[in-house]
Amino acid sequence: MTHVDMWTDGACKGNPGIGGWGTLMRSGGKERELFGGEKETTNNRMELTAVIEGLAALKRPCHITLHVDSQYVMNGVQSWMKGWKRNGWKTRDKKPVKNQELWMALDEQVARHQIEWVWVKGHAGDPGNERADALANMGVDEARGS
């Protein structure tokens, strides 16, 4: 199984506002960068989108070391999602899960791969995270039309 190091990040100018997402992938000495944006979104949606797009870009199942700076994404996958699925994508309070369509898409992508989740502190000098952040901001610029 191919090993991929992946860093993801989301950005939003205003929350909600113009947002972007970025993903950096490295494997076998090669590097790939992805980014995109939306005119009206939230930071959490962009954090989720960065992971979904990165995982979806892989053509076959991989072993991934996935570096994220989003506690929302990490907690969602590792702690909350199992209960949400068991409860029909409802929270403990019986309310619909926010960003449900993205969580469902992420669940589908996570099932394809073997993932080691690594939390990194954002804006703390991790080179992969810094590049993912720069890509996310490129996505903001693209959505802004600049």
- Catalytic amino acids? 9-10, 47, 69, 123, 133
Residue 129's SS3 state is helix
Interatomic CA distance for residues 68 and 80, integer angstroms: 17
The DSSP line for 51-84 is HHHHHHT-SS--EEEEEE--HHHHHIIIIIHHHH
Beta bridge partners of 26: 5, 31
The answer to whether 37 and 18 have CB atoms below 8 angstroms apart is yes
Query: How many angstroms separate the first and last alpha carbons of the chain?
Result: 40
Written as one letter, the residue type at 14 is G
The answer to whether 11 and 133 have CB atoms below 8 angstroms apart is yes
